[in-house]
Amino acid sequence: MTVSAIIVAAGRGSRLGGDIPKQYQMLSGRPVLEHTIHSFLASDQVTEVIVVTNPRDEALYAPIATSISDIRLKPAVQGGNNRTASVRNGLQAATGDYVAIHDGARPLVPLDALDRVFEQARKTGAAFLALPVTDAVWQVTDGKAATALPRDAIWRAQTPQVFDRRAILEAHINHDGPADDDVAIAVAAGLNVLPVRGSQRNLKITFAEDLTLAEQQLGTPMDIRTGNGFDVHKFGEGDHVVLCGLKIPHDRGLVGHSDADVAMHAVTDALFGAIAEGDIGQWFPPSDPQWKGAASEVFLRKAVERVAARGFRISNIDCTLICEAPKIGPNSVQMRRNLAAITGVSEDRVAVKATTSEKLGFTGRQEGIAAQASVLICTS
């Protein structure tokens, strides 16, 4: 079975508004019609794509055609005076065993929906995507509800509508006048056309709000990044250490240009690393006297600010302290709270834990404290 996709894009779409036809308006950075074409090129059952265009839109369509290197995209076919005439022109250019006739302003038809309708058409000769009506349906007369219609027998037609090419071409040639869609022409010719469940995603862009809904359907791919930080500070004179902004009594202090908060430094470096914006030393050089004795909260807040400026939010923070003393466990809850308050991350997404190095190395000899941190950031 070979399938020619005929994408009808010769209309004006005036109800959407704007200076150009709706099929050329932008959707997530690309024209609507370009999304539609790619939806069919994604199917390995489609052997050619024929776009029916309006001659007045040549300057709008040319960049789309140029950007697509797939040889299945054939030269555009000129549209007619109405949709029926445009489809007929596309049919005469098609070569596939079957044709899938589709609206140029339906850019999000899912691949699985194409598979379903192609399979049904292969079995019965004609099929179309549609959705059963789930709301109450009323016939309105003089602006008032008059008669309730049986919704079980009503389907909302979508495209593509798929037919044996020769059969639908003959039906078009013999059809006189306009038609609501190609199913109407096929039924008038005596063809049996079966509905196949479509998709809510396969919306037709008609009004401005439809374009907004399509943007939401497409969504922006989430950008997820991780960062790692590591820091070390040695012990020196003092009666406390500062870890995650918490002053913890100890028989020695940590030595550093700032308050030597080794945990907060590791988290800060992890955040700068996740957005590839250097490290804490580049942002706050120890050679600069203004950072002498500074609270490390200042550094962490800058990293949080830069993450937000790049369009990310912090998903979680995991910090591990490596030391023999002081004891971290009794203080970890408050340390988590401090980090959560500064970063804006909920407390249940912040972990502060500790381990020893089994008396090995400089931490085992209690010469200092090391900290490592991992963070995950993502776009909203």
- The burial class, CB within 10 Å (0-12 / 13-18 / 19+), for 324 is middle
Check residue 56 and give its pLDDT: 94
89 pLDDT band, cuts 50/70/90, is very high
User: What is the percent of the chain where pLDDT is above 70?
Assistant: 99
d(CA 29, CA 259): 47
> What is the token pair recorded at 339?
């980090």
Give the CATH number, domain containing residue 86.
3.90.550.10
Same domain, 56 and 205: yes
Place of tokens 């470096």: 269
Let me know the angle formed at the C-alpha of 52 by 50 and 54, rounded to the nearest 5 degrees.
150
Check residue 1 and give its pLDDT: 83
Give the CATH number, domain containing residue 307.
3.30.1330.50
Q: pLDDT by residue (tens digit) across 136-154?
A: 999 999 999 999 999 888 9
Query: Domain range for residue 55?
Result: 3-218
The count of structural domains within the chain is 2
Check residue 18 and give its pLDDT: 75
Q: Is residue 219 scored above 70 in pLDDT?
A: yes
Same domain, 243 and 283: yes
Give the domain-ending residue among 218, 236, 267. Answer: 218
127 pLDDT band, cuts 50/70/90, is very high
Same domain, 109 and 189: yes
Check residue 218 and give its pLDDT: 84
221 pLDDT band, cuts 50/70/90, is low
Give the domain-ending residue among 193, 218, 243. Answer: 218
Same domain, 180 and 235: no
Same domain, 241 and 282: yes
> What is the token pair recorded at 332?
């970890």
Same domain, 56 and 147: yes
Q: pLDDT by residue (tens digit) across 28-85?
A: 889 999 999 999 999 999 999 999 999 999 999 999 999 999 999 999 999 999 999 9
User: What would the mean pLDDT of 307-332 be, rounded to a whole number?
Assistant: 94
Same domain, 248 and 155: no
Per the model's pLDDT, the better-predicted residue between 236 and 17 turns out to be: 236
% helix, strand, coil for the chain, step of 5: 35, 30, 35
Check residue 12 and give its pLDDT: 81
Q: pLDDT by residue (tens digit) across 253-272?
A: 999 999 999 999 999 999 99
380 pLDDT band, cuts 50/70/90, is low
> What is the token pair recorded at 284?
């706050």
Give the domain-ending residue among 218, 246, 273. Answer: 218
Same domain, 328 and 193: no
Check residue 19 and give its pLDDT: 81
Check residue 225 and give its pLDDT: 95
d(CA 22, CA 10): 10
Same domain, 201 and 228: no
Judge contact between 87 and 8, C-beta under 8 A. Answer: yes
Q: Is residue 158 scored above 70 in pLDDT?
A: yes
Check residue 103 and give its pLDDT: 97
Same domain, 184 and 38: yes
8 pLDDT band, cuts 50/70/90, is very high
Same domain, 32 and 159: yes
Same domain, 147 and 281: no
122 pLDDT band, cuts 50/70/90, is very high
